[in-house]
Structure 1
Amino acid sequence: MIEALIKNDSLQEYLTSESGFWYYFNNQDTTQIKEANIGDLVTFTYNIKKLDGSTVISTTENGIISYKVDQSNQDLISGIRDGIKLLKEGETATFIFPSYKAFGYYGIEKKLGTNIPVRSTINLISINQNQNN
């Protein structure tokens, strides 16, 4: 399903992550050099959609998230945690996560079945660097 989606989407240039998902930039800032590292406090928004584009969880439902990179115990799927580290402050990207990087076997009760890949658009609003970085 993911390969077909990417093949049929001639408008975007998809990149492949080392973590096993695909993404493209909606808004990329080539002048920024600061990326999120372990311990940095990031502020971002994101949504979750099915591959057909139907919304599972909206950006409004999630609100603005504050997350300490790789040190918070928040209930973020691993794809979101990995995707944030690929963005610079002010950038927005859309990610295609296979089910094992998303909600896997459990899904989301009454919203998303089991073993379903998803797409998510993440907007990284700010990065507050950890003093040790």
Structure 2
Amino acid sequence: MKNIFLLSFFCIVSCSKNTQVHPPVGGQLSQKDLEISRNRSRSLNENERAQIKEWIKNQDEKFYPMAMNYWVNKEDLLKSPKKVDGTTVSYQYDLYDFDEAKIYPQPVVKKEVKLGKFSDLKAVENAVHYLKSGEEATLLVPSGLAFGTYGDNNKISNDLPLIIKIKVF
């Protein structure tokens, strides 16, 4: 038992020499660090928006910008009444990259969730507020509204804009 403890201790000590030190969650960043982060985010968003607009030009269907910084292929979505928080909805969506390759084989399915009481991708939450039962839509979402700078720690890498095909049922 003593040998296992010593072996574990030496492994932890030897591994810690190669780790990078990062500020703790909630730690403070300098004004310069905040400005660098803000400029990076702004530049990334501008580049992704330009790429998405270029992608839209090559499509047969039209896409319409939403106030939240994503596009949708339903013009009437902009005119639909917004469901109130607390309304129960069920929906599913598939995720694609902009090469239109499906990222996960199975859709993300949410059943009987209450609007305003659950957390999903911001663009998905927003679209679900306007889609009626049985409606489908395609969302074009910059990475900042998708999985951001961290990805989903699985198949979605950091800073990846997504195509989201959603259906409310």
TM range (shorter): 0.7 to 0.9
Structure of larger gyration radius: 2
CA 1:78–1:62: 2 relative to 1, 3 Å: same
Letter of the 2:57 partner, please give it.
Answer: K
State which of 62, 65, 70 in structure 2 corresponds to 1:21.
70
Per-residue deviation at 1:116? Answer: 1.0
Q: Are 1:22 and 1:97, in contact at CA under 8 Å, matched by a contact in 2? A: yes
User: Quick check: which one's strand share is greater?
Assistant: 1
Aligned mates of 1:4, 1:34 — CA distance in 2: 30
Per-residue deviation at 1:29? Answer: 9.0
Partner of 1:93: 137
Letter of the 2:100 partner, please give it.
Answer: G
1:110-129 matched pairs, under 5 angstroms: 110-125=154-169
State which of 54, 58, 64 in structure 2 corresponds to 1:8.
58
Q: Secondary structure at the match of 2:167?
A: strand
Q: Are 1:29 and 1:88, in contact at CA under 8 Å, matched by a contact in 2? A: no
RMSD over aligned CA atoms reads: 2.3
CA 1:4–1:69: 2 relative to 1, 3 Å: same
1:100-111 matched pairs, under 5 angstroms: 100-111=144-155
Aligned sequence identity (%): 23
Q: Are 2:95 and 2:107, in contact at CA under 8 Å, matched by a contact in 1? A: no
Q: Which runs of 4+ in 1 moved over 6 A?
A: none
Partner of 1:71: 117
Q: Please say which of residues 105-114 and 13-22 is displaced more in the overlay.
A: 105-114
Q: Secondary structure at the match of 1:55?
A: coil
What do residues 53-87 of structure 1 show as CA deviations (whole Å, max 9, x unaligned)? 111134x3423533211112xx5111111111121
Aligned mates of 1:66, 1:47 — CA distance in 2: 18
Per-residue deviation at 1:52? Answer: 1.0
Unaligned residue ranges in structure 2 (runs of 5+): 1-50
Aligned mates of 2:96, 2:111 — CA distance in 1: 18
2:104 aligned with 1:57, yes or no? yes
CA 1:29–1:16: 2 relative to 1, 3 Å: closer
Q: Are 1:39 and 1:70, in contact at CA under 8 Å, matched by a contact in 2? A: yes
TM-score by length of 1: 0.77
Aligned mates of 2:128, 2:110 — CA distance in 1: 14
Unaligned residue ranges in structure 1 (runs of 5+): 126-133
Letter of the 1:118 partner, please give it.
Answer: L
Q: Secondary structure at the match of 1:82?
A: helix
